[in-house]
Amino acid sequence: MASIILRDIVKRYGQGPKANQVIHGVNAEIRDREFVVIVGPSGCGKSTLLRMVAGLEEISGGEILIGDKVVNHLEPAKRDIAMVFQNYALYPHMSVFDNMAYGLKIAKVPKDDIKTRVDKAAKILELGPLLERKPRELSGGQRQRVAMGRAIVRQPQVFLFDEPLSNLDAKLRAQTRLEIQKLHRELGITSLFVTHDQVEAMTLAQRMIVMNGGHMEQFGTPEEVYHQPASTFVASFIGSPPMNLLRHAPGARPGTLLGVRPEHLDVGTDGWEVTVDTVELLGAERLIYARLDGEPLIVRVEEGRLAPQPGDTLHVAPRENRLHWFNADTGKRI
């Protein structure tokens, strides 16, 4: 196994003053056996960063270390990594067994070792009964497990996942997330996982890197990122619904934005007076979309507690120990 160290990583396309810089000095250390998720919106640089670790993109500045080795100029095949893509890229004419074994055959691994590795991976991924099937006979979730199995049998130092669940429906995504968590517990291989889905990031990550416009906005545990966001971007990107960010709330400081999560607003007889716009029922909870002095505000309440109607007036009180303050100009946490 191995750690991954990113030192002042920069990526530019083109040369000179017209060069387009897409990654701006990222520094991070992914510990040995750690599962780290890189999350952010489309175009933020998360896949570019992963592809530089894989050796599929050249870096323009900085150093990448896998273990204690600088790999800047190493070919992907020499980095001892295995990558799982959004596209399963299975050979349609080969069985599940042969798809998983193909890379080992090319590497001239002995047949007995190949069978042992494939059988072990198939057991972990519950693919045993499917080894003789062709990809067309499999569901999307099963094909993705075959792609993961193909990575497992290589016994790499590092797993790299590039949005591997994007092609699955919501139910399969949730199921496959559980399988990936189980896989990491059993194998303990250092992993970098890219996604634009903050739910995936929160549920899978031991720590997470939040990217925005090629910058690393925050690197921390899901709890740290959710409860102590480093910027208004993180506060609004992580969490569903996002954190309320208010400029004119009672008690707000000049030049400062007040942040409060929807679940940290209590409906009662005291507090801010808000006007209800609409209410969304989500099974065990309701989201109340309201306005506070013209600013939008979301309040999360348990289903059954109250059912206000559009136009109603409510009083909501923010929990004092759950308030966040951000610089209105820079967006950074104060």
The segment(s) of the chain belonging to CATH 2.40.50.140 are 241-327
Q: Once rounded to an integer, what is the mean pLDDT over residues 162-180?
A: 86
Angle, helices 111-124/170-187, rounded to nearest 10 degrees: 120
Is the pLDDT score of 1 beyond 80?
no
Spatial strand order of the sheet with 207-212 comes to 81-84, 158-162, 190-195, 35-39, 207-212, 215-220
Closest to 131 (Cα-Cα) out of 154, 106, 114, 110: 114
Residues in the chain, total: 334
Lowest mean pLDDT segment, chosen from 145-154, 249-258, 282-291: 249-258
Bridge partners (DSSP) listed for residue 272 = 316
Note whether 124 and 152 are within 8 A (CB): yes
Helix (H, G, I), strand (E, B) or coil at 171: helix
CATH of domain 241-327: 2.40.50.140
> What is the rounded distance in angstroms from the CA atom of residue 328 to the CA atom of residue 245?
10
Q: Once rounded to an integer, what is the mean pLDDT over residues 184-202?
A: 94
Note whether 246 and 257 are within 8 A (CB): yes
Helix (H, G, I), strand (E, B) or coil at 239: coil
pLDDT in tens, 113-146: 999 999 999 988 889 999 999 999 998 889 988 9
Q: Which two tokens stand for residue 261?
A: 């999560």
> What is the rounded distance in angstroms from the CA atom of residue 139 to the CA atom of residue 243?
37
For 59-122, the DSSP string reads: -SEEEEEETTEE-TT--GGGS-EEEE-SS----TTS-HHHHHHHHHHHTT--HHHHHHHHHHHH
Note whether 63 and 69 are within 8 A (CB): no
Q: Once rounded to an integer, what is the mean pLDDT over residues 23-41?
A: 97
pLDDT in tens, 46-73: 999 999 999 999 999 999 999 989 999 9
Task: Quote the pLDDT of residue 62.
Answer: 97
Supply the pTM of this predicted model: 0.90
> What is the rounded distance in angstroms from the CA atom of residue 146 to the CA atom of residue 164?
12
Task: For residue 268, give every residue at least 6 positions away whose Cβ sits within 8 Å of its Cβ, in sequence order, or none.
Answer: 315, 316, 317
- pLDDT above 70 coverage of the chain, percent: 100
H helix or E strand, kind and range, residue 198:
helix 198-204
Note whether 178 and 186 are within 8 A (CB): no
For the chain, give the mean pLDDT: 93
Task: Quote the pLDDT of residue 251.
Answer: 76
Q: Between β-strands 158-162 and 190-195, what pairing exists: parallel, antiparallel or unpaired? A: parallel
The segment(s) of the chain belonging to CATH 3.40.50.300 are 4-231
pLDDT in tens, 82-117: 999 888 889 999 999 999 999 999 989 999 999 999
Answer whether CATH 1.10.10.10 is correct for domain 4-231.
no
Task: Quote the pLDDT of residue 167.
Answer: 81
Is the pLDDT score of 304 beyond 80?
no
Place of tokens 């499999």: 138
Amino acid at 219: F
Q: Once rounded to an integer, what is the mean pLDDT over residues 257-271?
A: 94
Which residues in the chain belong to E strands, given as ranges?
Answer: 4-13, 20-30, 35-39, 61-66, 69-70, 81-84, 158-162, 190-195, 207-212, 215-220, 244-246, 256-260, 265-268, 272-282, 285-292, 295-302, 313-318, 324-327
pLDDT-based confidence at residue 165 (cuts at 50, 70, 90): confident
Is the pLDDT score of 303 beyond 90?
no
